[in-house]
Amino acid sequence: MTNAASLGEDELEQLRGAVRALCAGFPGEYWRTLDRERAYPTDFVAAMTEAGHLGVLVPEEYGGSGLGISVAATILEEVHACGANAAALHAQMYTMGTLLRHGSPEQKAQWLPRIASGELRLQAFGVTEPTAGTDTTSIATTATRVGDRYVINGQKVWTSRAEHSDLMILLARTTPKDHVTKKTEGLSVFIVDMREAVGNGLTIKPIRTMFNHATTETFFDNLEIPADALIGEEGKGFRYILDGMNAERILIAAECVGDARWFTERSVAYANERKVFGRPIGQNQGVSFPIARAHAQARAAKLMTYQAAALYDAKKPCAEEANTAKLLASEASWAAGDTCVQTHGGYGFAEEYDVERKFRETRLYQVAPISTNLILSYIAEHVLGLPRSY
């Protein structure tokens, strides 16, 4: 197997079954305990790695499966449909494209085999900054070339899993914004060995949030990294990062589709078993219609998600599809989650049902990795030809 297209539907179903079987070993209580303790799912990540799921995008010559985003999306969708959470998995997949598509042969040989085997984790993505937000071209973190080194100074925020990652894909300015013709120029991408960096110019500070994503802010104070940590050509990093952003939106969309499936399955089961006034509550159209609508929304979002994934795997333009998939899927998962809470009534807020945990987790995706309004702005301007709004 050398690409996503080489997996037929029978093989994909086998893959889904394997993921479901693995996730069965990590039931709701496992995730509830981690959520209470704000702990990292180490055992789950190890099991997914051992099963080969985290090396799915790594070429076979480096010890991976050599498959595509379509297969990665299938894995993450199934994880979420099982009631688990793939936040500790997906960054390794969506950042992988930057290294695979733009890294040097030496970089690939150095890092990919150990990523595929699980010896190293590539889980940190250093892009967002407190003062720039989603205005990526306005980041202030700098990388200054000094001899055979780059010196990094600045700050990143919402750098999830930094405390549990060995490597980071980092975006920094190598040329000041006022010294370039286009604001997208002068940005460069680096692969940072965090094992060497922490305590030597890199400081990590956890941020407690409403869900357990192990997110942090990171501070760079004269951090020195070797010049060969540069991925691709200096100053061209924004274009490289866009590849990763499209992959990220596709994979997050797949997770949202999985969430929507989980919510709807729970809604259906509860609406069939819960009886009020002598009959199942699902017999009432006020209960059944929202569930049916949520199902329809998720089906439509899934079609767009896998269309975007197919285009990405074919190395064709997919920005419209990736953004649209993320928009539709995040809204579908939230609608399904809201319906699930409403269907369960008071029990929807009870920890033991897992609905409230998944409800909190899926709400994130209308804000990150890109907000709904920015997606709408992109579609309005770049797809429909309307005037730029910002």
For residue 64, give the nearest of 110, 112, 108 by alpha carbon: 112
Return d(Cα 176, Cα 140) in angstroms, integer: 9
pLDDT given at position 212 = 92
String of DSSP letters for 178-242: GGSSSTTSSEEEEEEEHHHHBTTTEEEEE---SS----EEEEEEEEEEEGGGEESSTTBHHHHHH
- Is a pLDDT exceeding 90 seen at residue 142? yes
Better-predicted residue by pLDDT, 45 or 6: 45
C-alpha–C-alpha distance, residues 249 and 125, integer Å: 14
Work out the average pLDDT over 162-175.
97
pLDDT tens digits, residue range 204-216? 999 999 999 999 9
Mean pLDDT value across the chain = 95
On the 0-12 / 13-18 / 19+ scale of CB atoms within 10 A, 29 is exposed
Q: What is the pLDDT of residue 3?
A: 41
171: enclosing H helix or E strand: strand 167-173
Per-residue pLDDT, 4:
41
The single-letter DSSP state of residue 140 is: -
Least confident of 18-27, 132-141, 221-230: 132-141
The pLDDT value recorded for residue 6 is 59
Mean pLDDT, rounded, for 98-127: 95
Rounded CA gap, 77 and 301, in Å?
12
Where does residue 388 rank: exposed (0-12), middle (13-18), buried (19+ CB within 10 A)?
Answer: exposed
Determine the average pLDDT of the residues in 276-299: 98
- The whole-number pLDDT of residue 157 equals 97
Q: How far is C-alpha 295 from the chain's CA centre?
A: 23
What confidence tens digit (pLDDT) does each residue in 232-257 have?
999 999 999 987 899 999 999 999 99
The per-residue pLDDT for range 337-368, each reduced to its tens digit, is: 999 999 999 999 999 999 999 999 999 999 99
Q: What is the pLDDT of residues 51-81, one digit of tens each?
A: 999 999 999 999 999 999 999 999 999 999 9
What average pLDDT score do residues 257-265 get?
Answer: 98
Is pLDDT at 1 greater than 50 in this prediction? Answer: no
**Of residues 243, 226, 236, the one with CA closest to residue 99:** 243
- Phi/psi region, residue 199 (left: phi>0; alpha: psi -120 to 50; beta: rest), is left
pLDDT value, residue 2: 37
State the alpha helices, DSSP H only, in the chain.
Answer: 9-24, 28-37, 42-50, 69-81, 87-94, 96-102, 105-117, 194-197, 237-273, 285-313, 319-344, 355-363, 372-378
Compute the radius of gyration of the chain from its Cα atoms. 21
Residue 97 has pLDDT above 50, yes or no: yes
Q: How confident is the model at residue 5 (pLDDT cuts 50, 70, 90)?
A: very low
Cα separation of 256 and 104, whole Å? 33
- What b-and-e string marks burial along 236-258, b requiring 16 or more CB atoms within 10 Å of the CB? bbbebbebbbbbbbbbbbbbbbb
At 322-341, the pLDDT tens digits run 999 999 999 999 999 999 99
Q: What pTM was estimated for this model as a whole?
A: 0.95
- Name the band, by pLDDT with cuts 50, 70 and 90, for residue 259: very high
Token pair recorded at residue 297: 């929304």
CA dist list (Å): 205 to 156, 180, 208, 216: 10, 33, 10, 5
pLDDT of 390 reads: 84
Bridge partners of 193, per DSSP, are 167
- Contact assessment for residue 141 and residue 129, using Cβ atoms and an 8 Å cutoff: yes
List C-alpha distances in Å: 362 to 208, 235, 292, 329, 357.
Answer: 17, 35, 19, 10, 9
In 3D space, the residue among 150, 148, 156 whose CA is nearest the CA of residue 131 turns out to be 156
Percent above pLDDT 90 for the chain: 93
